């Protein structure tokens, strides 16, 4: 029979260890050598505040992991002879594009020669790449540029029209609704 001993620094294992996608089942397991057996507690780091207590089991189970579960986790092992905490382990949950929408820097009338910026926004992990399109009457949309912003430093009446952006990452592609620009001549 081995002599009584406080827990060693616990280790954390993650299953599956490969890339995690939103909706996957993920298990974090805390283990250590201790006699008598250790009790376990799980924590999630919350920025600058104290880590938040999540569970008091040797396993932390996510039956359908979400992007909000991304973060840094640690576990603690404790028996009558001591308490030790693991290093933090980072969980990064990948997810497809959530939304894609366009906002405009200018409100009200857009006057010829003014500066106008269109912004494309989306929520994704990994980050998205953006492309901008202009709808030309009934014909197909014309590719204009790439990047999250479309900037008109001195907008002209020929820039009037309907614009949309497409956001794309490895997990999918979303196209925004069209936004209309009507440039007024003074």
The CATH class, in words, for 100-184 is mainly beta
* Domain spans in the chain, listed from the N-terminal domain onward: 11-94, 100-184
Q: Read out DSSP for the chain? A: -PPPBPPPPPEEEEES-S-EETT--EEEEEE---BSPPEEEEEEEETTEEEEEEESSSEEEESS--GGG-EEEEEEEEETTEEEEPPPEEE-EEB----EEEEES--S-EETT--EEEEEEE--BSPPEEEEEEE-TTSPEEEEEESSEEEESS--GGG-EEEEEEEEETTEEEEPPPEEE-EEP-
Architecture category of domain 11-94 in CATH: Sandwich (2.60)
> Per-residue pLDDT for the chain (186 aa), expressed as one digit of tens each?
566 677 788 989 999 876 789 999 999 999 998 888 899 999 998 766 677 777 888 999 999 999 889 999 999 999 888 899 999 999 999 988 877 778 888 767 888 888 999 999 888 888 899 999 988 665 567 777 888 999 999 998 889 888 999 999 888 888 888 888 888 876
CATH topology agreement for domains 11-94 and 100-184? yes
């Amino acid at each position: 029979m081995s002599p009584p001993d406080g827990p060693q620094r616990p280790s954390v294992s993650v299953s599956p260890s490969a890339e995690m996608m939103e909706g996957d089942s993920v298990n974090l397991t805390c283990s250590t050598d201790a006699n008598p057996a250790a009790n376990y507690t799980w924590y999630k780091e919350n920025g600058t505040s104290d880590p938040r207590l999540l569970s008091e089991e040797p396993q932390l189970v996510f039956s359908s992991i979400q992007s909000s579960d991304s973060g840094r986790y640690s576990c603690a092992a404790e028996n009558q002879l001591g308490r030790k905490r693991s290093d933090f382990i980072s969980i990064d949950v990948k997810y497809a594009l959530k939304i894609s929408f366009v906002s405009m820097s200018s409100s009200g009338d857009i006057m010829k020669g003014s500066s106008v910026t269109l912004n494309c926004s989306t929520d994704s992990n990994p980050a998205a790449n953006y492309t901008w399109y202009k709808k030309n009457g009934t014909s197909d949309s014309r590719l204009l540029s790439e990047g999250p912003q479309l900037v008109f430093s001195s907008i002209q009446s020929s820039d009037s029209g309907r614009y949309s952006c497409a956001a794309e990452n490895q997990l999918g592609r979303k196209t925004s609704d069209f936004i209309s620009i009507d440039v007024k001549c003074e």
